[in-house]
Structure 1
Amino acid sequence: MGTEKKRVIYNARNTENDDEEPSKCFQISPDVEMKEIPITGEEYLLKVIKERQQCAVVTVCDKDVSQFAKNQSRFYKEPAGTKTAPDKLKPTIEWQKIQVSDFSEVRSDLTKILVMLMKTGKMEAKAKPIKIGDDTLEGWKLFFESNDPTLSCALGLKPDKLVRGLEMLVEILEEVEPGQTVDHKTGQWIYAFLARAWQPLLSDTISIMRNLARTCAEIR
């Protein structure tokens, strides 16, 4: 930056006293004018600083969270007529713990593999992109029937395809006739999509997963 002291990118602070006011990393010349559309770097920084000054330092929730803090379901109500599973079909606690443990292990392994592939630059070579010729229910049915939910497919799931695929899986489940069950391959794809779900989950994804769980419960 030469000898221009008015433009300082980094100014080391004394860390011996953590209570002191931190020094500014950026200093902007007083001659810089505020513009709606910044052109230079200093104009952009000035605009960011001015916008930041209009925001509260701490954002406080103005809603009473005491009613839904435990389960985060205050704003959701099960539709009328929803039936609980018969006692004889309810899985045991031991079985549930085993499934949760196995599922968590799969998700953890996927995350480790993703991180390793991104670090080594081998993501494109190992991940199989999900390509749907016809983005309709029939097109997704053909994809699910023609492909296995392999590791490479799971790694290749992009966020948009993951959400869209979950929507299609819900529609496929809704076509299951009374007295019939979910076929094995569809079940495998459901597992793969859930294991690969990106976190934190968006509200739309959570809504789709609710529909998925409810539809599975109805089939059961």
Structure 2
Amino acid sequence: MRWVGLAGLKTMAWIPVESAVEELMPRLLPVEPCDLTESFDPSVPPRTPQEYLRRVQIEAAQCPDVVVAQIDPKKLKRKQSVNVSLSGCQPAPEGYSPTLQWQQQQVAQFSSVRQSVIRHRSHWKSQQLDSNVTMPKSEDEEGWKKFCLGERLCAEGAVGPATSEGPGIDYVQIGFPPLLSIVSRMNQATVTSVLEYLSNWFGERDFTPELGRWLYALLACLEKPLLPEAHSLIRQLARRCSEVRLLVDSKDDERVPALNLLICLVSRDSEEIEKEEQAAAEKAVTKEDFQGEWTAPALEFTAST
């Protein structure tokens, strides 16, 4: 039993089939074999109900059981007329939005950083970590939050700048920076997981320089094509950045260019930007206003006032 059609019409007709599965299905409209005259011509319009049903049977028998559509993605791409926006992103307050030139510079610089990560990943992965660096396991959410942001920032009620009573830097308290020797050891599953952990933390707290450095580094480590979960995470990140930007009292706040940068990188990380990445990576972009500076062995993320 199947739907079959003729000249824009559809009907249910009994059609003998060899499939044992279809033979077990109940017949909605049993049709006995038609006793037609020898003058029956299936190429002319039917004159009786029996001739019509017979034509339906003949037409159905000629249809393949499985049909595969041959789709040319290039043709669909040329006809694409809808651009997907960052749904849920809050518009920038007046005076908070960066210029188009600034956005283009940041995207070009970020593309260069991403290409550098890809080219030098093997080298930095082979470098030995310091004795005080112990990377958490991929599934250890709390461990990664403390590793990236520091135990002090992750502690409840921690406010104000970090202080050090003794000599040297206590990275356990202030968090480890996203050194190339660290991020190069993270596979794509770990990069996506840590990005999710930090996005969850950011969803309930304010933006900090420590968080910004790691978010920039993780975005640079994401490989194309992005996994569906990575797409969802970076869109969620952009929405949260736009929400925090609304709460900033002054456009001169150092958080504004940092938040704008993350929103810019996510919103403009489209197919058009992907085509320009290789060319942009070969160009030296003058650092201007706020930028994510690329220095070996550390990936710096700073906001100018």
Q: CA deviation at 1:147?
A: 1.6
2:282: which partner in 1?
none
Report the alpha carbon displacement of residue 109 of structure 1 after superposing the two structures with TM.
1.2
CA distance in 2, matches of 1:197, 1:97: 20
Quote the residue 1:38 is aligned against.
none
Higher relative contact order, structure no. (Cα contacts within 8 Å, ≥ 6 residues apart): 2
Output the CA distance in 1 between the equivalents of 2:134 and 2:229. Answer: 21
Letter in 1 for 2:215: I
Match of 1:154 among 156, 173, 183: 183
Deviations 1:163-196 (A, max 9, x none): 11111111111122xxxx4111110000000001
Contact 1:127 1:156 in 2 (8 A): no
| Aligned residues of 2:125 and 2:181 also touching (Cα < 8 A) | no
Distance 1:127 1:170, change over 3 A: farther
Q: Kindly tell me: are residues 172 and 70 of structure 1, through their superposed partners in 2, closer, same or farther at Cα, counting changes over 3 Å?
A: farther
Residues 102, 66 of structure 1: alpha-carbon distance in 2 compared, 3 angstrom cutoff: closer
Query: Which sections of structure 1, spanning at least 5 residues, go unmatched?
Result: 1-53
- The number of equivalent residue pairs is 151
**Cα separation, partners in 2 of 1:124 and 1:150, compared to 1, 3 Å:** closer
Distance change >3 Å, CA 127–CA 171, structure 1 → 2: farther
The verdict on how the C-alpha distance between 1:212 and 1:77 changes in structure 2, with shifts beyond 3 A counting, is: closer
Identity %: 27
Cα distance in structure 2, aligned partners of 1:147 and 1:137? 15
Match of 1:87 in 2: 94
Question: What TM-score results when the alignment is normalised by the length of structure 2?
Answer: 0.43
Cα distance in structure 1, aligned partners of 2:128 and 2:222: 15
Which residue of 2 is the match for residue 69 of structure 1? 80
Contact 2:191 2:218 in 1 (8 A): yes
1:91-110 counterparts in 2 under 5 A? Answer: 91-110=98-117
Distance in structure 1 (CA, Å) of the matches to 2:218 and 2:120: 16
- How many Å separate the matches in 1 of 2:232 and 2:243? 17
Instruction: Please report the RMSD computed on the Cα atoms of aligned residues, expressed in angstroms.
Output: 3.4
Matched letter for residue 116 of structure 2: D
State the shift of 1:92 in Å. Answer: 1.1
Superimposed CA distance per residue, residues 108-144 of structure 1 (whole angstroms, 9 cap, x where no aligned partner): 1112213xx3xxxx56523769832584542221111
Kept in 2: contact 1:132–1:139 (CA 8 A): yes
| Secondary structure, counterpart of 2:95 in structure 1 | helix
Write the deviation string for residues 51-99 of structure 1: whole angstroms up to 9, x where unpaired: xxx996x74279x9589825553xx8835xx531112110111211221
The structural deviation recorded for 1:152 is 1.0
